[in-house]
Amino acid sequence: MYAKFWGVRGSIPAPGPQTVLYGGNTSCIEIRLASGQLLIIDAGSGIREFGLWLLANDQKQGPLKTDILLTHTHWDHIHGYPFFVPAYIKSNEFTIHGPVNYAGNLEKIFSAQMDYTYYPIKLEDAGAKVRFNELKEGTITLGGAKVTTCYLNHPILCLGYRVEADDRVICTVYDHEPYVNIFGNPEDSDEAREAQEAVDMASEKVLRHIENADLVIYDAQYHTQQELDSHRGWGHSSVEEAIANCLAARAKQLAIFHHDPTRSDEELNALHTGLRQRMQNEDKHLVIFPAKERLLVSL
């Protein structure tokens, strides 16, 4: 099994001379099983380029029948789909899985961006056969893969995915903000104590979600505690949180993901060098690297 990154940026595409190395497209990850079975996680702007790659490769072998797993329906995780060329080929079939929220069912939310107000072709007129499957926490089987979901801490309902196949495990934890107790010191009141218990339970669930994973793709949009503290409520995490959780869960590899749109190649290179040296100095066995477009991680 392998994971390949087609979009690694968060919030909005960020093309330009400062993002050439790591890429400026928003979230899209290819997961390929040993059998050749394909899973796609998220349909950010990276799915456009991936779609062109599929046309030149998989599509030549016959119709595509593929599952797309959405972490959530914020625009940067779905706005590439209208430009996903395989969706316009009638013989192809896609099942789009994802969480729903107060705004309505998944199909309605997902297809709204293809309303004539915003786009010339409606979802139902694109050509491919598309089904929708609304997910909560739980486990589903997709061909040869066992896929388990975990609720994350984001302004709308968001899922992390744990994909188990070929005796390997790939997990996603984005978009996710560390849980905090907003009621203060647990020793000061019953409310604060109960809140801390809830925070501890939710945090522990994330650790179980990534336990012993071969690869964890973790939200680390913020590089410092100050950045995280100044963006509380935005639903994203930090490098330190990602490292701490992956070490606690005994994960093998950590891909820093959901790069801030202002984060330059130079900054990410410096981060990579520093973290690699830190793990060596601390004698930790966790392999850490910033995700970048077209990077393939074979497990």
- How many CB atoms within 10 Å of residue 85? 18
Whether 294 shows a pLDDT value over 90: the answer reads yes
Q: How many CA atoms lie within 13 A of 272 on its CB side?
A: 17
**Helix, strand, coil fractions of the chain, as percent rounded to 5:** 30, 25, 45
The two three-digit tokens of residue 106, written as one number = 């998944």
pLDDT of residue 104: 73
Tokens of 15: 């093309």
132, 94 contact by CB (below 8 A)? no
Q: What is the per-residue pLDDT across 17-68, written as a single tens digit (0 to 9) for each?
A: 999 999 999 999 999 999 999 999 999 999 999 999 999 999 999 999 999 9
DSSP letter at 81?
A: G
CATH number, residue 271: 3.60.15.10
Please report which confidence band the pLDDT of residue 194 belongs to, taking 50, 70 and 90 as the band edges.
Answer: confident
pLDDT digits (tens, 9 = 90+) for 167-190: 999 999 999 999 988 777 776 787
- Going from the C-alpha of 209 to that of each of 36, 129, 191, 204, 285, the distances in angstroms are 25, 32, 27, 9, 20
Q: Inform me whether the pLDDT recorded for 201 exceeds 80.
A: yes
Q: How far apart are CA 192 and CA 2, in angstroms?
A: 43
pTM: 0.96
Tens-digit pLDDT profile for residues 110-168? 889 999 999 999 999 999 999 999 999 999 999 999 999 999 999 999 999 999 999 99
Total structural domains within the chain:
1
Task: Return the pLDDT at 185.
Answer: 79
Single out the residue of 34, 258, 273 nearest to residue 164, CA to CA: 34
Query: What is the chain's mean pLDDT, rounded?
Result: 95
Is the previous residue joined to 175 through a cis bond, with omega within 30 degrees of 0? yes
As separate numbers, helices (DSSP H) first and strands (DSSP E) second, the chain gives 6, 14
Structural domain boundaries enclosing 204 = 2-298
pLDDT at position 183, please?
A: 72
pLDDT of residue 67: 98
